Structure 1
Amino acid sequence: MELTHTRLLVDNYKECFLFYRDVLGFEVSWGDENPLYADFKFSGATLGIFERKQMTEAVGTEYSTDSEKVDRTALIFKVNSVEDNYQELKDRVEFITRPTEQKDWGIKVAHFRDPDGSLIEIYERI
């Protein structure tokens, strides 16, 4: 697996987008203030921001604004084959989602959590 970026899951997407772009001066490598997803490149790393409501829909959890009950971040790993990694890991981790094509995103994904509950996504481009 290759860690490609960290994704912040936010409720105020536009405000956060403008903060990272205009206040911190991060270079936008994908997206803008409207699509509810963007990537910023800096110092060889990528920071993604994504509207939390859309992420909860993708993993099939209930959206809440209660900070004790929601994911705030996700670690995103690129893999050669989501299906192969799913088969390899399914006896060792409890997957939240099965391998699913997200055609609007141009990727195939699956999600699981680490022992402390952190959200992890594996993906491949389609």
Structure 2
Amino acid sequence: MEMTHTRLLVDNYKECFHFYKNVLGFSVVWGDEDSNYADFRFQGCTLGLFERRQMMEAVGEIYKEEIPRVDTAALIFRVDDVEAVYEEMREKVTFLTTPTEQKDWGIKVAHFRDPAGTLLEIYESMKL
């Protein structure tokens, strides 16, 4: 078995497509804003984006538009300088946290969400 990528299931596909393509700058390797599925590549990883309704239908589930806000996953990105990336992105995204040192973890982090509500974290290792 080989894990090939992470797929996010979203209700607002087009908005999320533009977020990952235009805000985060990921390269589209398959799909477009109208395909309801796309693959993005960045730093050797693949992120799939799929309309949640179609995934629910594919697995025989009943689609419900409202889903409870419970974070069960987060996308984590290492950066060289959290403060610099925070300043660069703060006009593009709404951060949940400002750059914060997590001394017990040895990192500095900041968090935000994509348009579907997926939790994202940027972090840098702290010099001890």
Please give the residue correspondences for 1:112-123 in structure 2 after superposition, counting only pairs within 5 Å.
none
Q: Which has the larger radius of gyration?
A: 2
Corresponding residue of 1:107: none
Corresponding residue of 2:42: 42
What is the rounded CA distance, in whole Å, between the counterparts of 2:45 and 2:53 in structure 1? 25
Deviation at 1:6, TM superposition (A): 0.5
Task: State percent identity of aligned pairs.
Answer: 65
Gaps of 5+ in 2: 74-128
TM-score, normalised by the number of residues in structure 2: 0.53
Runs of 4+ that moved beyond 4 A: none
Report the 3-state secondary structure (helix = DSSP H, G, I; strand = E; otherwise coil) of the residue aligned with 2:4. Answer: strand
What is the rounded CA distance, in whole Å, between the counterparts of 2:68 and 2:24 in structure 1? 27
Deviation at 1:65, TM superposition (A): 1.8
Corresponding residue of 1:22: 22
Corresponding residue of 1:68: 68
What is the rounded CA distance, in whole Å, between the counterparts of 1:45 and 1:4 in structure 2? 8
| 2:12 equivalent to 1:12 | yes
Residues 20-71 of structure 1: per-residue CA shift (max 9 Å, x gap)? 00000000010000010000001111000000000001000000122139xx
* Alpha-carbon RMSD: 2.1
Gaps of 5+ in 1: 74-126
Report the 3-state secondary structure (helix = DSSP H, G, I; strand = E; otherwise coil) of the residue aligned with 1:28. Answer: strand
Structure 1 counterpart of 2:67, which letter? S
What is the rounded CA distance, in whole Å, between the counterparts of 2:32 and 2:65 in structure 1? 24
What is the rounded CA distance, in whole Å, between the counterparts of 2:40 and 2:32 in structure 1? 10
TM-score, normalised by the number of residues in structure 1: 0.53
Which is richer in strand? 1
Report the 3-state secondary structure (helix = DSSP H, G, I; strand = E; otherwise coil) of the residue aligned with 1:68. Answer: coil
